[in-house]
Amino acid sequence: MIDINLIRTNPDLVRENIKKKFQDAKLPLVDEVIDLDKKNREAIQRADFLRSERNRISKLIGLLMAQGKKEEAEAAKQQVKDMQDELAALEVKEVEYKAEILKRMQVIPQIIDDSVPIGKDDSQNVENERFGEPVVPAWEVPYHVDIMERLNGIDLDAARRTSGNGFYYLKGDIARLHSAILSYARDFMIDHGFTYYVPPFMIHGDVVTGVMSFAEMENMMYKIEGEDLYLIGTSEHSMIGKFIDQILNESELPQTLTSYSPCFRKEVGAHGIEERGVYRIHQFEKQEMVVVCKPEDSMKWYERMWQLTVEFFRSMDIPVRTLECCSGDLADLKVKSCDVEAWSPRQQKYFEVGSCSNLGDAQARRLKIRVNGADGKKYLPHTLNNTVVAPPRMLIAFLENNLQADGSIRIPEPLRMYMGGKTEIR
């Protein structure tokens, strides 16, 4: 959510940003906010005047009564009553104006960084850099589920019986590999100075609307029936949410956090749920990284965060590339974002395994997270998040890139201590 002062002082910048994101239908919202804000400020000024006058006249009533001026005192009392009635109506109006302004402000997109490429959708995202040589082996690389089934490591039929499509049972060495990757990711991030968390897996509605747009919430979040609780779609939600309504000291920044959680997603939309496979599913586990920092440091942290994901994947010999998200592919709260994509030898192309995002002060403004600056002034911090690893998708990349000619899976050195010393899966 952008600062309303920006709409007041530079509405053309806000309109131009909406156009860059190809959301022209939202252009009228700018004028609507300006009009509602003007009416709201007029109502506030009028209410302040009435309170002042009410207090002045109330004091006068006692003086008039003491002087025996009963009729004048009664007229003053009626004045006070009329003011109170008008004041009550204005207070209702103020609440209504604020609600209408907030409703519009929450769908006006955040101002994107100047470096973001302009494009309508993800087909116009821009490749930044490749890391590692993409290899296509001489032998056939089967579909990832076929690899898992040959190693007796997955049961989709049982999951369909218990839960439906979009769920899975992992077992044996594949289940162990899944846990090993998460354990390695945890230690990898701790070794890079991040504090490890296991957060709540359910959050209140005000946290949900603080960390994401309404459209994202509708397409992603599962609500607990009869309670103000939602299952998290990623631990970023509860990790940023932990700072709601808090005032941090500048000396506490940056907050560098890494968190493990299961993630629950409806996956409503064009892609849909896979009937066979673990690429797009309702439930998975993930290691996340989150940073809360001073505004002037956020781009430095953005670069550092995606680089950590690249380093993590390369440590397991998986070729990756970074893909800069264009303006039309950015969620409304994001200032800048890039995807990390892993090489698929079977498909002979890259596919998304993580996303790094700088959200500027959008989440901090929504959640009322503030910082006490060294000069005594309060300001909004910037928040960032990035996927370290989400094993279901990572498993696809891992199995394909470490598949050997005889059908066994090579275990890279960093994972062996988490796999009981195994060097391969057969």
Segment 341-393, tens digit of pLDDT: 999 999 999 999 999 999 999 999 999 999 999 999 999 999 999 999 998 88
Of the pLDDT bands very low, low, confident and very high (cuts 50, 70, 90), residue 268 is: low
If one counts the domains in the chain, the total is 2
Phi-psi region of 245 (alpha: psi -120 to 50; beta: other; left: phi over 0): left
Comparing 353 with 267, the larger pLDDT belongs to 353
Q: Judge whether residue 270 has pLDDT over 60.
A: no
Question: Within a domain: residue 268?
Answer: yes
101 and 175 part of one domain: no
Please compute the mean of the pLDDT values over residues 250-269 and round it to a whole number.
Answer: 90
Mean pLDDT of the chain: 93
Q: What share of the chain is helix, strand, coil (3-state, %, to 5)?
A: 50, 20, 30
Percentage above 90 pLDDT, the chain: 81
Question: Within a domain: residue 117?
Answer: no
- Rounded to 5°, the CA angle 52-8-302 comes to 120
CB atoms within 10 A of CB 10: 12
Q: Which pLDDT score, from 0 to 100, does residue 22 have?
A: 96
321 closest CA partner among 338, 304, 301, 298: 338
Three-class SS of residue 320?
strand
393 and 282 part of one domain: yes
197 and 295 part of one domain: yes
235 and 274 part of one domain: yes
Residue 11 CB partners (closer than 8 Å, separation 6+): 30, 31, 34
155 and 214 part of one domain: yes
Q: Judge whether residue 162 has pLDDT over 70.
A: yes
269 and 377 part of one domain: yes
Question: Within a domain: residue 113?
Answer: no
Segment 220-254, tens digit of pLDDT: 889 999 999 999 999 999 999 999 999 999 999 99
What is the extent of the structural domain holding 41? 4-105
Q: Which pLDDT score, from 0 to 100, does residue 271 have?
A: 57
Q: Judge whether residue 264 has pLDDT over 90.
A: yes
Please compute the mean of the pLDDT values over residues 298-319 and round it to a whole number.
Answer: 97
75 and 219 part of one domain: no
Question: Within a domain: residue 114?
Answer: no
72 and 178 part of one domain: no
Please compute the mean of the pLDDT values over residues 9-22 and round it to a whole number.
Answer: 96
Report residue 93: phi and psi, to 5°. -60, -40
Q: What's the CATH code of the domain at 28?
A: 1.10.287.40
Count of all residues that appear for the chain in the document: 426
pTM, to two decimals: 0.89
Q: What's the CATH code of the domain at 244?
A: 3.30.930.10
Segment 168-200, tens digit of pLDDT: 999 999 999 999 999 999 999 999 999 999 999
Report residue 248: phi and psi, to 5°. -95, 150
Q: Which pLDDT score, from 0 to 100, does residue 415 have?
A: 96
Three-class SS of residue 258?
strand
Please compute the mean of the pLDDT values over residues 61-78 and round it to a whole number.
Answer: 82
Q: Judge whether residue 57 has pLDDT over 90.
A: no
Strand partners, 349: 344
Record the tokens describing residue 311, joined without a space: 């380093």
Record the tokens describing residue 270, joined without a space: 């064009």
Of 69-73, 261-265, 297-301, 333-337, the one with minimum mean pLDDT is: 69-73
Record the tokens describing residue 410, joined without a space: 């090579």
30 and 170 part of one domain: no
Question: Within a domain: residue 139?
Answer: yes
Q: Judge whether residue 290 has pLDDT over 90.
A: yes
Question: Within a domain: residue 257?
Answer: yes
Q: Which pLDDT score, from 0 to 100, does residue 1 have?
A: 81
Of the pLDDT bands very low, low, confident and very high (cuts 50, 70, 90), residue 274 is: low
Segment 365-377, tens digit of pLDDT: 999 999 999 999 9
Please compute the mean of the pLDDT values over residues 46-62 and round it to a whole number.
Answer: 87
77 and 155 part of one domain: no
26 and 136 part of one domain: no
334 closest CA partner among 112, 67, 43: 112
313 closest CA partner among 388, 231, 400, 218: 388
Q: Judge whether residue 115 has pLDDT over 90.
A: yes
196 and 96 part of one domain: no
Q: Judge whether residue 8 has pLDDT over 90.
A: yes
Cα separation, 189 vs 238, in Å, equals 18
Identify the residue whose tokens are 């006070």. Answer: 80
In this structure, is the dihedral angle defined by the CA atoms of residues 278, 283, 284 and 288, taken in order, positive or negative?
Answer: positive
Q: Which pLDDT score, from 0 to 100, does residue 72 have?
A: 83
Structure letter (DSSP) for residue 403: B
Q: Judge whether residue 331 has pLDDT over 60.
A: yes
Of the pLDDT bands very low, low, confident and very high (cuts 50, 70, 90), residue 214 is: low
Cα separation, 389 vs 391, in Å, equals 6
